[in-house]
Amino acid sequence: MAERDGIRVIARNRKARHEYEILEQLEAGLVLLGAEVKSLRDGKASFADAFGRIDGGEAWLHNLHISPYDKATIDAPDPVRPRKLLLRRREIDRLRSKTRESGLTLVPLDIHFRRGFAKVTLGVARGKKHRDRREDLKRRTMQREAERARREAARDR
């Protein structure tokens, strides 16, 4: 998809920024099987209903759909299986305490490759109410119109 600073972004969860207020971001490694890595390199990932969870002292990513690699053998793993996240113990403990707060959850924001390793950017997020989403839309529309007016004013000079 995009390449910036040696990071190749595979997929972004655009819906996450619309439905959640992202309070904090962190990067975690992703435990994958060989065919899943090849499928990710082809850009075949979907975030529909994906979320992170801390279970038994380990971080897991649930409902991330990675399509089976078409050139792989029959033994393809389940496309939506839970995948382990690689984080330091201190980060896991901090995330556990934050997600125990009411209304906070772990949301995957994007999947990317950094120096050949698959990584996922997680966000500690709070769900937005419907009115908050409408206010965000209004604010973005006003900013867009103001920018357009500035460009037109600069062009008319």
Given pLDDT bands bounded at 50, 70 and 90, which one contains residue 155?
confident
Given pLDDT bands bounded at 50, 70 and 90, which one contains residue 26?
very high
Per CATH, the number for 2-128 is 2.40.280.10
Amino acid identity at 76: A
pLDDT of 91:
94
H/E stretch holding 23? strand 20-30
Residue 29: beta bridge partners? 86, 119
Given pLDDT bands bounded at 50, 70 and 90, which one contains residue 2?
low
Question: How many angstroms separate the CA atoms of 66 and 52, rounded?
Answer: 16
pLDDT of 17:
85
pTM of the model: 0.77
